[in-house]
Amino acid sequence: MGEDQGFRSGFVTVVGRPNVGKSTLVNRLVGSKVSITSPRPNTTRRPVRGVLHRPGRQAVFVDTPGLHRPRSALGARLNEHVAESLEDLDVVVAVLDATGDVGPGDRLVLARSLAAVGDGRGQERMLVVLNKLDRARPAEVLARLAQADQALRDLAGSGHRVELYPVSARSGRGVAELAEAIVARLPEGPPYYPPEVLTDLPEEVRVAELVREQLLAVVEDELPHAIACRLVEWDWPRLRVEILVERPSQKAIVIGRGGAVLRRVGERVRRQLPPGCYLELHVVVEPRWQQRPDAIERLGY
Ligand SMILES: Nc1nc2c(ncn2[C@@H]2O[C@H](COP(=O)(O)OP(=O)(O)OP(=O)(O)O)[C@@H](O)[C@H]2O)c(=O)[nH]1
């Protein structure tokens, strides 16, 4: 008899259109910021794992990029990540946005999720989350729940076994019930991570992601898509992050007048790092990197 007998664990893939709140939800479920978030679509560029520990249970969430119609090699890569994360899972959580109608993009997400869990009882391993409850009126929430249920009926028949959970990832409302439902669906399995581990994201990637998150918060317009970040030097307390953009005009925006934008970003990132670190930000022009598979691979996306 192994010491893990009776332990339950599994991989829980979180999917949805861009911007529906997948990363915010995973952070809330894990109780720690494992994935960066922003009001811009396609913020998440690689699957990020976040671990929820419960006595005798462990859920490994996989936060995926938003499923979308790709317009670049990067976009295609993001969708590939979603497809790969749907290949081997124990539970799938499909996230919809309560503030808008259930549309064709959502139906694609539901169809892919259903395909991942299979028919009949397999459907019990799929949960649909209606997020951003705090921003929708009760009547809207009810209408969207009905739309989601109808979409599931269209795809899987009227006897489908998929449960729906209205939540607010931002306020936390409904998230405890969702966590219970997910944990109850975990199969028997070993703990994959030690209790102190909340994410598998390497520290150097996390620092680069924090820089990108603050750039997304500070820089206006369409530019965020053209930004990528990587940590190129790590010699504690000195950190150097390279910010890639596609054009010299974008470089000027990211630097800001007299370096104002970079300074603001640096300050906001440093507040989230251990005290005493020296963060250097350096902007580099890498033409058309979003269209170049070699550049995308080098960036680890
Ligand atoms: N009002 C409200 N806003 C939310 C909620 N959850 C997420 N958001 C906001 O929605 C935006 C997108 O959230 P993310 O968590 O980055 O969304 P995502 O689905 O991971 O986005 P992609 O990486 O683009 O796929 C952010 O501005 C969040 O603060 C919620 O429950 N209520």
- pLDDT tens digit sequence for 13-25: 999 999 999 999 9
CA distance 121 to 118: 8
**Six token digits for residue 84:** 């790969």
Q: Is 200 annotated as a binding residue?
A: no
Q: For residue range 261-286, list pLDDT tens digits in order.
A: 999 999 999 999 989 999 999 999 99
- End-to-end CA distance of the chain: give it in Å, rounded: 41
* Structure confidence at residue 158 (pLDDT): 94
* Structure confidence at residue 2 (pLDDT): 59
Three-class SS string for 84-146?
HHCCCCCEEEEEEECCCCCCHHHHHHHHHHHHHHCCHHHHHHEEEEEECHHHCCHHHHHHHHH
* Structure confidence at residue 3 (pLDDT): 63
Looking at the fold, whether 209 and 65 belong to one and the same domain comes out as no
**What integer is the mean pLDDT of 171-194?**
98
Looking at the fold, whether 141 and 207 belong to one and the same domain comes out as no
Looking at the fold, whether 172 and 256 belong to one and the same domain comes out as no
Q: Is residue 2 part of a domain?
A: no
Q: Is residue 171 part of a domain?
A: yes
Q: Is residue 293 part of a domain?
A: yes
Q: Output DSSP code: residue 227.
A: -
Q: For residue range 230-248, list pLDDT tens digits in order.
A: 999 999 899 999 999 999 9
Domain count along the chain: 2
Looking at the fold, whether 254 and 159 belong to one and the same domain comes out as no
Q: What is the mean pLDDT of the chain?
A: 95
What is the position in ligand 1's atom list of the atom closest to the CA of 65?
25
What is the position in ligand 1's atom list of the atom closest to the CA of 167?
31
Looking at the fold, whether 178 and 207 belong to one and the same domain comes out as no
Q: Is 187 annotated as a binding residue?
A: no
Looking at the fold, whether 180 and 217 belong to one and the same domain comes out as no
**Cα of 192 from ligand 1 centre, angstroms:** 28
**Cα of 119 from ligand 1 centre, angstroms:** 30
State which of 155, 184, 213 marks the end of a domain: 184
Ligand 1, CB within 6 Å, residue ranges: 16, 18-24, 37-39, 41-44, 65-66, 131-132, 134-135, 168-170
**Cα of 7 from ligand 1 centre, angstroms:** 32
Q: Is residue 28 part of a domain?
A: yes
Looking at the fold, whether 145 and 216 belong to one and the same domain comes out as no
The pTM of the full predicted model, rounded to 2 decimals, is: 0.96
**Six token digits for residue 1:** 């008899």
Sign of CA dihedral 182, 183, 186, 190: positive
Q: Is 249 annotated as a binding residue?
A: no
What residue numbers bound the domain in which 130 lies? Answer: 8-184
> Where residue 283 sits, what CATH number does that domain have?
3.30.300.20
What is the position in ligand 1's atom list of the atom closest to the CA of 135?
1
Looking at the fold, whether 68 and 147 belong to one and the same domain comes out as yes
**Percent of the chain at pLDDT exceeding 90:** 93
Among protein residues, the one whose CA lies closest to atom 11 of ligand 1: 39
Q: For residue range 199-238, list pLDDT tens digits in order.
A: 999 998 999 999 999 999 998 777 888 999 999 999 989 9
Q: Is residue 192 part of a domain?
A: no
65 near 79, Cβ under 8 Å?
A: yes
> Where residue 13 sits, what CATH number does that domain have?
3.40.50.300
Among protein residues, the one whose CA lies closest to atom 26 of ligand 1: 39
